[in-house]
Structures are given as C-alpha cells and as structure tokens.
C-alpha cells in the first residue's frame, strides 16, 4: 500500500504537460494542474485513449470503439467528447482535428 501511495501521491504517475497544466490519468478521472477531476466511466475511457496517444490524433472510429453501445452512431463520439470537455472545465484541452479525430493539447518538449 505504501508503494502505491508513494508512487501515485508523489507525482511519479505517468503525466503529460498540456496547455492547461500537468495531466495525470487516474482510474476514475484525471489530475489536471494539481486538481482532481472525477469523470464518468465513458469520460475516463475516452481520456485514456487520448492520453495513450500522447498528443497524437485519435480517430473518431478508435474513440467510438471505446464507447459502450455506440454502434455505428458517430454522433455518440461528438457528444461524449462534448461531455468530457464540460467535465474538464477546460474545453481547449481536447482539440478537434478536422476530418481526422481528436487529440490532447500536449506541449511538446523543447
């Protein structure tokens, strides 16, 4: 237990530097710039797919595959991303890449 607490509590969890601050992924949400933001299961699944891409573009089809019961409804991805942006309180953290998909606003190291 101590190892888990020291690993995740000590800032050693995988993180991305974004335009909104340091982003760490958690099972039920994210920590953005030191502030824990709880997410729904769908929001957490979308965020995990975006986080794993490390700032790269994730296609709508890939995001649709992580959504439960989305079927062939591409509108479901758009609505889920809109809800994720609202929950984050930082709409610019998830960027739309026209005709390709979505990506996190990751700051590239210089």
The CATH number assigned to the domain holding 73 equals: 1.10.10.10
- Name the one residue in this structure whose structure tokens are 């998909």: 101
Query: What local confidence, expressed as pLDDT, does residue 39 receive?
Result: 96
* Any domain includes 110: no
Rounded to an integer, what distance in angstroms lies between the CA atom of residue 46 and that of residue 67? 8
pLDDT beyond 90 at 85? yes
The reply to whether 39 falls in a domain is yes
Q: What is the mean pLDDT of the chain?
A: 87
Domain hosting residue 43, numbered range:
2-104
Strand segments, DSSP code E, in the chain are 15-18, 21-26, 29-32, 35-38, 58-59, 94-97, 101-104
> What's the rounded mean pLDDT across residues 100-105?
96
pLDDT band at 83 (very low <50, low <70, confident <90, very high): very high
Write phi, then psi, for 87 (nearest 5 degrees): -65, -35
CA 27 to chain centre: 11
Quote the pTM value: 0.85
Burial class (CB in 10 A: 0-12, 13-18, 19+), 44: buried
């Amino acid at each position: 237990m101590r190892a888990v607490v020291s690993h995740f509590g000590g800032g050693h969890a995988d993180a991305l530097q974004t335009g909104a601050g340091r982003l760490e992924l958690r099972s039920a949400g994210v920590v953005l710039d030191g502030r824990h933001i709880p997410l729904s299961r769908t929001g957490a699944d979308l965020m995990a797919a975006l986080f794993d891409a490390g700032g790269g573009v994730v296609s709508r089809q890939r995001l649709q595959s992580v959504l439960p019961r989305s079927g062939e409804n591409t509108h479901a991805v758009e609505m889920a991303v809109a809800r994720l942006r609202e929950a984050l309180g930082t709409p610019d953290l998830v960027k739309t890449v026209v005709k390709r998909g979505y990506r996190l606003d990751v700051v590239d190291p210089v």
